[in-house]
Chains A and B, each alone.
Chain A
Amino acid sequence: MNIFNQTFQKNISAAKMFIFFSRLMDRPVFDKEDQRIGEIYDIVVRPSQVYPLSHGLIIRKGFPNRKYALVDWQDIEKLDTDGAKLKIDKSRIDFGKIPGEKKELTLRRDILDQQVVDTHNHKVIRVNDIQLLTVDQALMIAHVDIGTRGLFRRLGFEKSVDLTVKLFNPKARYLLDERLISWKYIQPLTINPVSMTIKIDVPQKNLTNIPAADLGDIFLDLNINHQIALFKSLNLTNKAKIFTNIDFKTQHSILDEMNDLEVSELLNNIPSDEATDFLEKLPREKTKHILSLIENKYSRRLSQLLGYSGDSAGGLMTTEYIAFTKETTVQAALDQIRELKFKTEPVQVIYIIDEARHLINTTNFRRLILANPQEPILNSAFPKTYFVHLDSSVKEVAYLMEKYKYFAIPVVDEENVLQGIITVDDILSQLIAFAWRRLKKIKIFQKT
């Protein structure tokens, strides 16, 4: 009997376990003498593992001169859709003008009705309601509701709309399809007023796992203040990745918000072709200033790249590539690549040069791995290497790359000294723009 009773009670509590924040909002709050002191305004939450737990209750009273008070969660005896009952007396609550402290996360101010990032579907969404889970005495954020039903619930029409829909189609998708998204995929966008950054929850790190191109798209859905705050909150690697994936206008705004040190750190970490793409669009004085900030050697290379016209091979190329002198053994070359000596991304192609950096030949990764490790690298080279000059046109470059099926093509100056390489993605974006102007337009406008 006793056991039965226990399971029975468990069932009841299980049914009551999930609760929508909209059902709690504006419900009355009573003190221990059952005297009404105000209504539920907001809930302060604190991060604990993945799901944040309720930590305090903000009570509101009075109209039109509203006053607010923060009550510790331990002082709450009972909280449900009928309202809240406190363990303490009315006299122990002091009301003030401002609802809660800014630095803590609260449901109503920071999440409800606000935009958040859904890191699962890679989208910026607006929260219609929050689903809470009762755990022991506290509440835990379980899901956010982004569906139409959540909207109707907030408006107080949920029941009547449900009824109408049921009348017409009892199996309607509207009734079954709850648009709830687990909190573990939600990244709030509250900007800390002091540091002006967004707190990214460490145990989840979901935001940083999104591919850079998608994160760039999410970025463009945010307003400028959120963009800047979110950017500042990322680590250097992610900053560099994002920066190369957003449009110039946003890049420019973000750059204006950074100090000299941050700018130099960032520019030192993005590939030279992307850096020049960005720098050549800036006003000349700004470009000069930025070049003066970054490492001497790199800035010289960048200003050299900036000198080439944008649609010539010189303007398209990147100066990050892997090159070895012809005497280097295959083993030594592989070791150096393994040691991450090169900060370049395209590792498929490896260039062979002499002491004066004249281009001699090309090899690729596959040939390198299959070659005898003790032999010099030149023995693993292709029979012949094609290249372009600094002033070659996009068309020439594209034609050669297509003809010889190159992932990357080397660029040399008049004396045959290797200057840089052009990778297939750079050429592809040029060609798409060339062949299909409309597509390029769409791409640019989506970013504005």
Chain B
Amino acid sequence: MKVMLVDDSKTMRTIQRNILLQLGYKDIEEACDGQDALSKVGAFGPELLLVDWNMPNMDGITFVKTYRAQGGKSPIVMVTTEAEKTRVVEAIKAGVNNYLVKPFTPDSLSQRINETLSRAKAA
């Protein structure tokens, strides 16, 4: 399973990477913002993406809309500090499949990933 982490914070990417490694996901690519992610998705071909919202250059919502417009079909979990209901609705409308608010525990990240992959498999 190829997983792409899109977050401008290296600390947050490292925390997520360590959790994913513990869960058995070993093929991980990182991107520091939406633009960086768009430049890498073609070659890497992620099967799951964890995407932050607030990032410089290109934010997470713009990335998700662009990725979907370009035909990207892999499930996306937004992992963000944006916790308001209006933001969650905006993210889902943009093409996000699941949502996790920071701060999070390793268990909650694992749960969101499992939910997302199960739903994608069933669809």
Do chains A and B interact in one complex? no
Interface residues of A (CB under 8 A from B): none
